[in-house]
Chain A
Amino acid sequence: MEFTLKTFIFYGFALMTIASALAVVTVRNIVHAAFALMVTLFGVAGLYVFLQADFLAATQVIVYVGGILVLILFGVMMTSGRLEMRIHIERGQLLLGGGISLALLMLLLTVIANTPIWKNLTDDGTQLAPTTERIGQLILNEKFLLPFEVVSVLLLVALIGAALISRKEVRD
């Protein structure tokens, strides 16, 4: 395999994603875990760029790194009241969770090894082309119009549900 700057950067992002994902589930301090998750989400955004999905990468950074992570940190602060909450993992949970994760990993590795199309994937040298306009056309044209509209109803449910659950008790 040719070792170019591109592959070097790719493995950098891949390593960063995996290492930080491991940190998310192993570190004891929940705030450290949240920050490790930020690195994971950022690494995934980098991988999207390698898949030529620039719009997705930008959205990933804005929504996940910028928005969801801040929400998680707020959630930690509001529920525990202090930042140094520790995560306690029972031995049984560790064995069970680890076992299931390993089984899933083996399944996915078998799938990767046995799927022919992935073995002869090569870099065909296509340049990064902006995808934003095409995505916009697809969403507002007939093709993905219905999912787009359904998502707006989905957001309505999320809004109403969150308001209902978090609202103060009303007594009459």
Chain B
Amino acid sequence: MPLEIPDINWSLLMPQLVIVSTLLIVLVFDMFDAISKKTLGWMTIVGAGIALWSSIDLLQAGTDQTQFNEMFRIDSYSLFFNIIFLVSTILVALVSISYLGSGDKKQGPYYLLILLATLGMMLMAAGNELIIVFLGLELMSLSLYVLASYFRESPASSEAGMKYLLLGAFASAFFLYGIALVYGAAGTTNIPEIISKLSVGDQLSLLSESPLFLAGIFLLIVGFGFKVAIVPFHQWAPDVYEGAPTTIAAFISAGPKAAGFAAFLTIFVDALPKLPTQATGVIVLLAMLTMTVGNVIAIAQTNIKRMLAYSSIAHAGYVMIGLAAANPDGKSSAMLYLFIYCVMNIGAFGVVIMARTADGENLMISDYAGLGFRKPLLAMFMTLMLLSLAGFPPTAGFVGKLYVFKSAVEARHYWLVIFGAINTAISAFYYLRVVVTMYMREPEEELEFKPYPPTLVIGLVLAAIGILLIGILPSLLLDQAQSAVQSALL
């Protein structure tokens, strides 16, 4: 039998192809000692920038197609997520350029792994097929395991990488087993086909109550739960964030979480209404647990990286509200929330990097005492990021929470909204505590801070502009997210 050359429209794959080309170029240039890590960082930024531009271009052209035998979706949903991932990658690369200092830290394919992880995320969001989602997940996770243990002279970094690897491997096994069971019950791994098999006309089909299928769905929830760090699968997050290089903690907390949710939303927002009501109950319960446990434990933290880790767990809970609502507004508000969350979280970690002295990083919250007046720029950025994380107007964090809660009200999940509101109040306590420490406490000792690296300041200024712009004009993004969800419905 002759082998047919598949008919592929390459122009639709531009964002992914640009990322692959960039990572190959970075891989080759990494071999030459004459080329500094900084140059590689700029290459990464340029490559991700071109991919971002081509994603926006495809989005504005209203592309809605599949490639590779319906395995790969190029529609406004996947393109919107591409924008989230690429913006995160650019911000993290900007923050990283000055962070990777001397000695051993200079070595190794840092930017290459970031690009590979980004490619994995883009595959997860574009996957129309469980196999592609799984491969994207593995591509992303493998890169992150290595990045988490990147500072090999630091035992904490090695421990973070090891823990992440072991727990991540378990999660992947659960996920894969879930795919196997779903395939066994539905006879296909194509996501829209699986969802359409759940109902016959207006009636639910036998598949939606088949124990084999439900066991598979349960395992998929566990697998996703680990990857996006929702309670009770969250234990790895604080240790990994604390031990990993701070730039990588920012990276792990942003893009990969959005990628996990991209696939999670693709499968579950359409599937939940067609599953037994207990499935929605499980999601609602997980959302409540995640918000509450994340926020309550964050109060007790004295290390700012651990505090941000628990806060990022709590934010996964807010996104779960949009997932539990399982209506078009829930999906678009979760997308908007993920975008805002990525920008403000990378911003917050960026400020932590900014507060470095010659001895290393100052990670205790008490180290921030008195910075409000001695380091006004740093304190101003930190205050803005924390206010946004807490959800105060006119920042983007407020807009994100507002639309997520609104979608839950439409879906009549009133308890979920009440829980979300109480949790927002709890979270305001520990975010504002840092602000109070900066402006109202006297420092115990004088710390000599390193001068601010220009690239870091550029990254933070971009993040700050983004947060204020979305906070004041949310329709810029919300319209895109809503039209992405609407076009999928037609």
Contact = CB atoms under 8 A, between A and B. Distances in A.
A120 interface: no
Nearest to A146: B68
Given A115-B212, A137-B1, A150 B123 contact: yes
Interface string A144-172: 11110011011011101100110101111
Contacts of B4: 141-142
A47 B153 CA distance: 46
B109 interface: yes
A110 interface: yes
Contact of B116 (A151, A156, A172): A156
Residue from B71, B104, B132 with most neighbouring chain A CB atoms (10 Å): B71
A158 B102 CA distance: 26
A142 B152 contact: no
Nearest to B107: A170
Q: How large is the interface on A (under 10, 10 to 19, 20 to 34, 35 or more residues)?
A: 20 to 34
Contacts of A141: 3-4, 6
A157 B6 contact: no
A164 B108 contact: yes
Interface string A119-151: 000000000000000000100111111110011
A11 B282 CA distance: 39
A25 interface: no
B211 A142 contact: no
A161 B20 contact: no
Contacts, number: 88
Interface in B176-221: 181, 185, 210-212, 215
- Interface size on B, as a range, is 35 or more
B139 A157 contact: yes
Contacts of A164: 108-109, 146, 150
A164 B116 CA distance: 15
A94 interface: no
Nearest to A147: B131
Contacts of A142: 4, 6-7, 68-69
A95 interface: no
Contacts of B211: 110-111, 114-115
B416 interface: no
Contact of B6 (A145, A154, A170): A145
Contacts of A167: 108
A41 to B, nearest CB: 16
A160 B152 contact: no
B152 A172 contact: no
A67 B460 CA distance: 48
Contacts of A96: none
B254 interface: no
Contact of A154 (B1, B113, B139): B139
Contacts of B335: none
Contacts of A157: 113, 116, 139, 142-143, 146
A102 interface: no
A77 interface: no
Contacts of B138: 154
Interface in A12-70: none
CB-CB nearest 9 A-B residue pairs: A142-B6, A161-B146, A146-B68, A150-B135, A114-B211, A111-B211, A157-B142, A115-B212, A142-B69
5 contacts: A140-B3, A145-B68, A150-B123, A154-B139, A157-B113
Interface of A: 107-108, 110-111, 114-115, 137, 140-147, 150-151, 153-154, 156-158, 160-161, 164-165, 167, 169-172
